C-alpha cells in the first residue's frame, strides 16, 4: 500500500518565485530573501531524504487559471503535465510539473465517492501557489509527480475550515488505500499573514505566523475552532489561506511529530513552513 510519509505546510507568494529567478538559482539573494532561502535548506534536505514518489498539493489559484465566471470550490488536476500559467509578467524559467493520471484518477474517484463535488481538470495550469516555493524544497527536474487540488480562497463563499478538516481526513484515507508501493508527501500551501487589498494593505504578523507553526502539530484542534474571520483580523484577509493547512495536518492522523519549522518576513507576506511526520501508534513499528 502507498505510504503517507510526511506533511509540509509552506507559504507562497509571487515574490518568492521571482526572487529565486533573480538570484541565479539560489546563489545571490537580497538579504531579506537570503533568510528565507537559508531557512528552507533544511526542508530541501529533509524532503530529499524522504524521497517521495508523489506529492499531493492543496493550494489556491489566484485568478490565473480560473476566473470569477466559474470559480470552483475544489478543482483536482488529473493530467500528466501541469504547465505554468503566465501571471502577467511572462513565463518564469522553471519547469512544468509532471502529473500521474493513475494517482489523479484515484483521487478523483475516491473523493467523489466520499461526496466531495469536484471540478476535474485534464489541462490545469498552475501559478505561484505551487511554483513559487517548489524550487526551495526540491531541485529540478522535479524528482516526483504531483497531483494539485485547488481550493477557493479568492471569493466568498469559501469552504468552511471544518470542510478542509473533512477533506484532509479523506485525503489521508485515500492515499493509504491505494495498492501501490509508493511514498507520498502531502503539501498545503497558503498564507501566511498578509493582506493585499484595502486600507490594511501590507499588514503581516510574524508573531502570529510563528504561533500558528508551533500549534499546528500538537494542538491542531484549537486552530480548527477559531473562526476564519479571526485569522483575517489578526493576520490580514489572505491569512484565510492558512485554513488549507488544516487538510494537510488532518491527513497525517491524530499524532504527529514536528520535524522542522521556520518563519521570516521578507516583504508583504509572512513566509513560513512546517514539516510534520505521522507518529505510529504505540507498539507499531514503522
The catalytic residue positions are: 128, 194
Q: Which helix (H) or strand (E) holds 166?
A: helix 161-176
For 212, half-sphere exposure in the C-beta direction (CA atoms, 13 angstrom radius) is 33
Spatial CA neighbour of 130 closest among 255, 12, 32, 234: 12
What cell numbers appear for 266 in the block?
521578507
What cell numbers appear for 273 in the block?
513552513
Q: Exposed, middle or buried, 101 (CB in 10 Å: 0-12/13-18/19+)?
A: middle
Give the integer Cα–Cα distance in Å for 128 and 134: 9
Give the integer Cα–Cα distance in Å for 234 and 209: 10
Amino acid at each position: 500500500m502507498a505510504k503517507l510519509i510526511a506533511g509540509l505546510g509552506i507559504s507562497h507568494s509571487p515574490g518568492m518565485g521571482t526572487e529565486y529567478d533573480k538570484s541565479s538559482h539560489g546563489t545571490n539573494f537580497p538579504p531579506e530573501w537570503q533568510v528565507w532561502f537559508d531557512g528552507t535548506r533544511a526542508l530541501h534536505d529533509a524532503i530529499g531524504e524522504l524521497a517521495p514518489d508523489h506529492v499531493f498539493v492543496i493550494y489556491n489559484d489566484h485568478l490565473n487559471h480560473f476566473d470569477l465566471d466559474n470559480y470552483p470550490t475544489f478543482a483536482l488536476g488529473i493530467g500528466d503535465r501541469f504547465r505554468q500559467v503566465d501571471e502577467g509578467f511572462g513565463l518564469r524559467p522553471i519547469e512544468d510539473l509532471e502529473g500521474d493520471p493513475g494517482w489523479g484518477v484515484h483521487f478523483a474517484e475516491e473523493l467523489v465517492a466520499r461526496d466531495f463535488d469536484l471540478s476535474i481538470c485534464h489541462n490545469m495550469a498552475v501559478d505561484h501557489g505551487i511554483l513559487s516555493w517548489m524550487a526551495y524544497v526540491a531541485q529540478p527536474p522535479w524528482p516526483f509527480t504531483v497531483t494539485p487540488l485547488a481550493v477557493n480562497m479568492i471569493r466568498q463563499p469559501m469552504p468552511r475550515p471544518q470542510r478542509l478538516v473533512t477533506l484532509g481526513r479523506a485525503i489521508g484515507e485515500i492515499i493509504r488505500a491505494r495498492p501501490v508501493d509508493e511514498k507520498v508527501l502531502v503539501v498545503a500551501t497558503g498564507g501566511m499573514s498578509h493582506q493585499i487589498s484595502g486600507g490594511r494593505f501590507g499588514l503581516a504578523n510574524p508573531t502570529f505566523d510563528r504561533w500558528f507553526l508551533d500549534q499546528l502539530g500538537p494542538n491542531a484542534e484549537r486552530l480548527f475552532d477559531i473562526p476564519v474571520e479571526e485569522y483575517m483580523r489578526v493576520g490580514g484577509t489572505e491569512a484565510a489561506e492558512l485554513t488549507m493547512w488544516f487538510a494537510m495536518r488532518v491527513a497525517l492522523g491524530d499524532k504527529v511529530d514536528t520535524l522542522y519549522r521556520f518563519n521570516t518576513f521578507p516583504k508583504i507576506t509572512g513566509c513560513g513552513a512546517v514539516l510534520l511526520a505521522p507518529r505510529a501508534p504505540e507498539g507499531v513499528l514503522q
